[in-house]
Structure 1
Amino acid sequence: MRMSRSRSRRRILLGFSLACLLLGAFSAWQATAQQERGMALVMTLDGAIGPATSDYFQRGLELAAEREARLVVVQMDTPGGLDAAMRDMISAMLASEVPVAFYVSPAGARAASAGTYLLYASHVAAMAPATHLGSATPVQIGGGGGLPGTGEPETPDDQGEGADQGDGASSGGKDKSAAEPSTGSEAADAEGQPLDASDKRRGETAMERKVLEDAVAYIRSLAERHGRNADWAEAAVREAVNLTAREALEQNVIDVLATDLDDLFDQLDGREVVMGSGTLVLDTADLAVERFDPDWRTRLLAVITDPNVAYFLMIIGFYGLIFELANPGSLVPGTIGVICLLLALFAFQVLPVNYAGLALVLVGLALIVGEALMPSFGILGIGGIVAFVIGSVMLMDADTLNISLPLIGGIALVAAGLMLWVMTRFLGLRRRPVRTGQEELLGVEAVALEDFQGDGHVRLRGERWNARSRMTVSNGQAVRVVGIDGLTVEVEPLEARS
């Protein structure tokens, strides 16, 4: 009986070992087959481009290099975003050893503003039907003075000698079906026709012209690198023009018009792309798709890297620590303050922070707190508010990352209100009668313990005190304390003041 059980156990163990060997062999074969088949890493860029997007994209390129992917595909639908984050992404893409294809999809998606630059910088620019791109004029977040594209175009009177030629070039009707992309150095209009020099938007101020010309040179260099329509790219920057996917393909703005990923892979197979080390022929036939979607880190970074959120977290963190130090052991404000301050510092490492502005903000907050702890009749408080407001305006060292002025004003008003409340409280305390020490006995009633004029004794709050009076006081008569001299109180009869 025992021998039969032992044999059955051996058979089970042998079968289990054999199954493990077969499973391991199958996994190894599958991994080898997948490696031979090749892999494409697919990422998703949905929404505005910012530091979180840049971090996500660069981590995706690193993962693609580790997995030896043959292609990185970024499915994009963006209204634009921050110039600094976009340039970081482009720099990483141009240095990547894995070719990158930006694919505007699904239907209805767009590659506006910064998305247009990313398309031009990518090794493969692809779009799905019913998508569009363009409107690449740099603008300042929040409006205001505005960068090129926010104001009215310059009139012919502002163009000098070329005004007449500009009017003539723009007055004639053009047949859209006959339009061809320009190959010269002049910018093209929305129909692909070259713009006269007088028609080019150049900005109204020196700063606008500086930003605009930099953007034009940047996108033209990207277009020339990959052999795409540089003239339309310049028009997209200067005139904020747009193209549909079909028009973009016809005007050599994009490389591929694909309905889905499989169609994209089929069309890219055998295509030659320009890499940093030279040209590369793509091998995208029968690629295995591995998705790298935004994780919690990207989502968290997208929230806290908003300049207003990071700024608010810093304020909460600072005051949380102050309240904890003022009330040791309360724990709640200290815990919240530490968490918020660490999140703010994490956000500041990816934001263009002006450290002079940060120092002014911290000094301003410290002065406001100092006003509450050691009243200076408003000197510390007013100086703190001024330093706080100036530092908040200077905090983000970029035009497109300025903190909201209403937020700065709101926090400054709250701080001023707190300071005003503290000052009124201290003034009220000064008017209150003294509640501790010998001075607190002034005006208190007592009872004479004997008849006396001069020195005697009174009962004051249950205690026997030496007393002195200039008037005659009878035993049991109510008296009032009018002065204190060491351990002797000066008293007078209550009716003496009536």
Structure 2
Amino acid sequence: MDKRLSKGVLACLLLLAQLFFAFGFAQEVSHSEETETSQEGIGPHIARLSIDGPIGPATTDYLIRTSDRARRSGARLFIVTLDTPGGLDAATRDIIQHILASDIPYVTYVTPAGARAASAGTYILYASHVAAMAPSTTLGAATPVQIGGMPGQQEPPQNAPEKSEEETEKKGGGDKGHETHGASEGSAMERKVINDSVAYIRGLAQRNGRNADWAEKAVRDAATLTANEAKAENVVDLVADNEQQLLQQLPNREVILVSGREQIAGSIATLPVVAYEPDWRNELLSLITNPQVAYLLLLIGIYGLIFEGYSPGAIVPGVVGVICLLLAFYALQVLPVNYAGLALIIVGALLIAAELFVPSFGALGIGGVVALVIGSVLLIDSDVPGMRVSKTLIGTIAAVSGLALLGILYAVGRSLRKPSVPANQAMVGRTAMVWEVEPDLLVKIDGEIWRAHSENLLTEGQLVTVTAEHGLVLQVAPE
């Protein structure tokens, strides 16, 4: 009866939680739809989009979906405010392909003061139809960071003599515009990736008439420039203190769209600017694809299924575990994941769980914690800022796992020190309550109803002590 009541209460609580979530979700969707409907048919305007932070799958989804919605609403120009330390290669290329296929000009504006367009941001800036920067901003350092940190790429000795031009020409390096610099000292894979990046950014620079040689330096040597230096080097087109000043410099500027060369309308500066903020979908996708959140979802999912296996029928751990695992796998399939790290995390969690069943005296648990920590370090295969699992989070998980292991070992040690009791005498000495007297004597112990026999006259509700156990019948006496 009590178990049924507790399950009923749990089911009600879960139903209420689902109703509240559904209500909040419906409200958010309704608000998003109202906003989208209100923006439909705005008329000619300038759409302002914002990229702030590492570039990942959520950034791509936001930029593509929002710009399509703005185009339907009558956008005549896109201004993308940019401040990023870099991002994932796949997400960056998707954004660039979208920009290159656009029939509406994209103006990428590095702002506010102190912002940067580093790494992936430099590629996006080169791909944009108009590249602009605010004073006191920077761009560059576009070397693929996964390659820059690989072992095997050696720095040349500090006192090494420089090669003469004659020696360089003999080795096929006479074209100064395409020198391999330090990349030639690296592995074949490093050279392959860097050369691919160089060709990619040079193609973007040549398409928009910008400095391709400096673009190559940004990839090979991680070169950087300030806003005024970038303007002087023909890396960007404009330097503007604010958005209004930027708009005043755009009219009649020639750009290359998918349909060919066109001029930005002279009346563009008179159009209203409409800001398109990320909606609930973008916010949710950004949250899920955050490496820290994806890592936690993975661990919660694994341990949820393990706990469900310990106590079948608990329902909640299993449901939460499955949902978290599905969300984690979705996030991991769009992030640069090292599958060896993922396997180590799963094996580590299983080894810690196996410590409860196998008397290894800590060997399985310690191995599990070690595998969990190593797997966590290897999980996200990227050195992009903001796209790795935090070392603090990994340390916290390791500490919690270690404490859980100590708790398991302590509980196992206590159970081993307890004297063993024969199965047919496990109920002897326990206190029970008389449940029924007629027609058969029934007693209740910890929610269980047992048949009983007594030589004394008993009443319902009376406390009794179990004196003997005969199969499924207990011998009881008044307490």
Give the TM-score normalised by structure 1: 0.64
Cα shift at 1:232: 1.2
Task: Quickly say closer, same or farther: Cα 1:332–1:380, change in 2 above 3 A.
Answer: same
Q: Distance in 2 between matches of 1:391 and 1:132?
A: 36
Q: Is the 8 A contact 1:105 1:127 kept in 2?
A: yes
Q: Distance in 2 between matches of 1:325 and 1:227?
A: 62
Q: Does 1:157 align with 2:178?
A: no
Q: Distance in 2 between matches of 1:43 and 1:272?
A: 22
Q: Is the 8 A contact 1:120 1:223 kept in 2?
A: yes
**Could you tell me which amino acid in structure 1 is paired with residue 213 of structure 2?**
D
Give the equivalent residue in structure 1 for 2:228. 246
Q: Does 1:226 align with 2:208?
A: yes
Q: What is the aligned counterpart of 2:306 among 307, 322, 336? A: 322
What are the superposed Cα offsets for residues 418-455 of structure 1, whole Å, 9 maximum, x if unpaired? 445434533442342123436889xxxxxxxxxxxxxx
Q: What aligned pairs does 1:388-403 form with structure 2 within 5 A after superposition?
A: 388=372, 391-392=375-376, 395-398=379-382, 400=384, 403=389
Q: Gapped runs of 5+ residues in structure 2?
A: 1-38, 428-452, 456-479
Give the equivalent residue in structure 1 for 2:32. none
Please give the secondary structure, in 1, of the residue aligned with 2:216. helix
Task: Quickly say closer, same or farther: Cα 1:421–1:147, change in 2 above 3 A.
Answer: same
Q: Does 1:51 align with 2:57?
A: yes
Cα shift at 1:103: 1.0
Give the equivalent residue in structure 2 for 1:437. 423
Give the equivalent residue in structure 1 for 2:110. 104
Deviates more, 1:157-166 or 1:431-440: 157-166
Q: Distance in 1 between matches of 2:389 and 2:369?
A: 16
Q: Distance in 1 between matches of 2:293 and 2:81?
A: 28
Task: Quickly say closer, same or farther: Cα 1:242–1:386, change in 2 above 3 A.
Answer: closer
Task: Quickly say closer, same or farther: Cα 1:218–1:144, change in 2 above 3 A.
Answer: closer
Please give the secondary structure, in 2, of the residue aligned with 1:102. strand
Cα shift at 1:70: 1.9
Q: Is the 8 A contact 1:265 1:287 kept in 2?
A: no
Q: Is the 8 A contact 1:313 1:341 kept in 2?
A: yes
Q: Is the 8 A contact 2:40 2:72 kept in 1?
A: no
Q: Distance in 2 between matches of 1:418 and 1:202?
A: 47
Cα shift at 1:254: 1.2
Please give the secondary structure, in 2, of the residue aligned with 1:268. coil
Deviates more, 1:369-378 or 1:47-56: 369-378
Q: What aligned pairs does 1:351-366 form with structure 2 within 5 A after superposition?
A: 351-354=335-338, 357-366=341-350
Cα shift at 1:364: 4.0
Q: Gapped runs of 5+ residues in structure 1?
A: 1-29, 167-183, 188-194, 442-461, 465-498
Cα shift at 1:356: 6.1
Q: Distance in 1 between matches of 2:79 and 2:151?
A: 34
Give the equivalent residue in structure 1 for 2:143. 137
Q: Is the 8 A contact 1:147 1:208 kept in 2?
A: no
Please give the secondary structure, in 2, of the residue aligned with 1:310. helix
Q: Is the 8 A contact 2:133 2:240 kept in 1?
A: yes
Q: Is the 8 A contact 2:336 2:380 kept in 1?
A: yes
Give the equivalent residue in structure 2 for 1:202. 183
Q: What aligned pairs does 1:474-489 form with structure 2 within 5 A after superposition?
A: none
Q: What is the aligned counterpart of 1:237 among 219, 226, 236? A: 219
Deviates more, 1:151-160 or 1:293-302: 151-160
Please give the secondary structure, in 2, of the residue aligned with 1:157. coil
Q: Is the 8 A contact 2:78 2:105 kept in 1?
A: yes
Q: Is the 8 A contact 1:320 1:334 kept in 2?
A: yes
Deviates more, 1:380-389 or 1:253-262: 380-389
Q: Distance in 2 between matches of 1:100 and 1:308?
A: 32
Cα shift at 1:312: 1.9
Q: What is the aligned counterpart of 1:122 among 118, 124, 128? A: 128
Q: What is the aligned counterpart of 1:425 among 395, 411, 416? A: 411
Cα shift at 1:334: 5.5
Q: Is the 8 A contact 1:434 1:440 kept in 2?
A: no
Please give the secondary structure, in 1, of the residue aligned with 2:236. coil
Q: What aligned pairs does 1:172-321 form with structure 2 within 5 A after superposition?
A: 186-187=176-177, 197=179, 200-202=181-183, 204-206=185-187, 207-283=189-265, 284-321=268-305
Cα shift at 1:328: 6.0
Greater RCO structure (CA 8 Å; 6+ sep): 2
Cα shift at 1:324: 4.5
Cα shift at 1:222: 1.0
Q: Distance in 1 between matches of 2:319 and 2:424?
A: 42
Q: Distance in 2 between matches of 1:315 and 1:48?
A: 24
Q: Distance in 2 between matches of 1:217 and 1:406?
A: 38
Q: What aligned pairs does 1:71-90 form with structure 2 within 5 A after superposition?
A: 71-90=77-96
Q: What aligned pairs does 1:377-416 form with structure 2 within 5 A after superposition?
A: 381=365, 384=368, 388=372, 391-392=375-376, 395-398=379-382, 400=384, 403=389, 408=394, 411=397, 414-415=400-401
Give the equivalent residue in structure 1 for 2:12. none
**Could you tell me which amino acid in structure 2 is paired with residue 213 of structure 1?**
N
Task: Quickly say closer, same or farther: Cα 1:146–1:282, change in 2 above 3 A.
Answer: farther
The aligned length equals: 385
Q: Does 1:368 align with 2:374?
A: no
Q: What is the aligned counterpart of 2:72 among 61, 66, 75? A: 66
Q: Does 1:344 align with 2:328?
A: yes
**Could you tell me which amino acid in structure 2 is paired with residue 205 of structure 1?**
G
Please give the secondary structure, in 1, of the residue aligned with 2:139. strand
Task: Quickly say closer, same or farther: Cα 1:299–1:185, change in 2 above 3 A.
Answer: farther
Q: Distance in 1 between matches of 2:80 and 2:130?
A: 10
Please give the secondary structure, in 1, of the residue aligned with 2:90. helix
Task: Quickly say closer, same or farther: Cα 1:94–1:288, change in 2 above 3 A.
Answer: same
**Could you tell me which amino acid in structure 2 is paired with residue 422 of structure 1?**
I
What are the superposed Cα offsets for residues 349-369 of structure 1, whole Å, 9 maximum, x if unpaired? 421335565455334423432
Task: Quickly say closer, same or farther: Cα 1:45–1:228, change in 2 above 3 A.
Answer: same
Cα RMSD of the aligned pairs, angstroms, is 4.2
Q: Distance in 2 between matches of 1:126 and 1:185?
A: 31
Sequence identity of aligned pairs in percent?
Answer: 52
Q: Distance in 2 between matches of 1:259 and 1:160?
A: 44
